[in-house]
Amino acid sequence: MPTRRTVLSGAAAIGATAAFTGLSTSNASADGTTGNVTQQQARDNILAVDTGMRNNYDALRANVINQLDPVIVVNNDLVGGTYYLISKGKVIEQIQPVDPVFALAKSIAHTPLGIFSICAPSLDPNHILPAQAKYIDPHDLRTVAFNGPANTNWTTALQTFSNTLDTARQTLESANLPSNSNGSLHDSCAYILDRAHDFIATTIRNREFDMQSFEAFTTDVYPSIRTNMYWSSRVQIDGVSALMTRWRKQLGPAWSGLYVVVLSIWTTYVQNQNSVILKNFMDQRQQPTHLIDLMTAQTPTDPVFVALDNLARIVQDNIAAEMVFASDQPTADALKGQPDLLSTEILQLLGTGTAAGSTAAPAAALTKGQLTQIACPFHNRASTLRA
């Protein structure tokens, strides 16, 4: 039975045949003129096609931005996330729904990482604990420990950081931190700060920072860090849940078509905490395609524009893919998703994959009867392609 794609593919082939029938082999331009042109001119004319496409594509995207509705953009920042509710390119509401306890708990939990960041350049790469050796790349260790153990310039910076910790400890009682059956945030913060004070004092006195003593310190405070992680997670869930409940009621039936774009850097890109919470409030039929985790090189100055610009591209590609690649669903899916369209062809030529589409030419046809050796950097071998 002919399908939509086979009919469209056949129609395209018939149209192409008709178009080529009226062409001669003479060197003719699109406007019917003939004449000699340089290779560079000819190539510039070819590249002008792509330039024209991109200009029109960008114009379409700029207009699609103003049609997106509804959209929630989340900038994954230091306070648990700034949320934007957007309709047709306009911000309807901007809010930071997470209680300040989120940032307070994370701040104290970051104490060991703060100490590490100061002292790591003076680690001794030749002394790796047996329990850590299988997890640490020696080259990475040497890269981080670029000063070596003989350098003790870290003592001044470490003392300054200790003073910051001590000030936080001295005023901790006035912070009015919460507690429940899962633990006291005040007590966990106090324990981390107290132990950090002792560790820093000993480390500066000995003028030596080593993995063993630091591991003992971090193991000691880890249960308290877990308590802080609980409190950060608890207030984030509560804040985001309350906001999503309100916005879902406000949008009504339009909620089913909601797009959510969460912006985060690489280190929080997978299972971002906001995305984990948000997926529970979305239409479950739409969630796999309408919740978009967008990785950024750094926190953008204009997160709304970055999110909408990328979302418009995604939305218009969803339609373009089905029309441009009507005869090849795998290639259409690639245009709609994250894979680069050339990746499957490259993988095929490297001998590590197959062509994206069912109509793709075999690798042998690409060699035009010649024997071609393509080095495969991934498998340290050569893939031999024969016609």
pLDDT computed for residue 35 by the predictor: 66
DSSP string, 77-146: -TTS-EEEEEETTEEEEEE--S-THHHHHHHHHTHHHHHHHHHGGG--TT---HHHHTTS-HHHHHHH--
Backbone angle region of 380, left / alpha / beta, with phi > 0 → left and psi within -120 to 50 → alpha? left
Q: Are 84 and 308 in contact (CB under 8 A)?
A: no
Per-residue pLDDT in tens (0 to 9) along the chain, 387 residues? 444 444 344 444 434 344 434 444 445 455 545 568 999 999 999 999 999 999 999 999 999 999 999 999 999 998 999 999 999 999 999 999 999 999 999 999 999 999 999 999 999 988 878 888 889 999 999 999 999 999 999 999 999 999 999 999 999 999 999 999 999 999 999 999 999 999 999 999 999 998 889 999 999 999 999 999 999 999 999 999 999 999 999 999 999 999 999 999 877 767 888 999 999 999 999 998 999 999 988 888 899 999 999 999 999 988 888 877 776 677 767 666 677 777 778 888 888 755 444 344 333 333 333 333 333 333 333 333 333
Find, among 343, 384, 380, 377, the residue nearest to 363 by Cα.
384
Give φ, ψ of 296 to 5 degrees: -120, 155
pLDDT computed for residue 39 by the predictor: 93
pLDDT computed for residue 191 by the predictor: 98
Residue 59 in tokens: 């114009």
d(CA 343, CA 10): 26
Separate counts of helices (H) and strands (E) for the chain: 14, 9
User: Which pTM was predicted?
Assistant: 0.78
pLDDT computed for residue 381 by the predictor: 35
pLDDT computed for residue 195 by the predictor: 98
Domain boundaries, the chain: 1-12+45-96+260-341, 101-234, 342-387
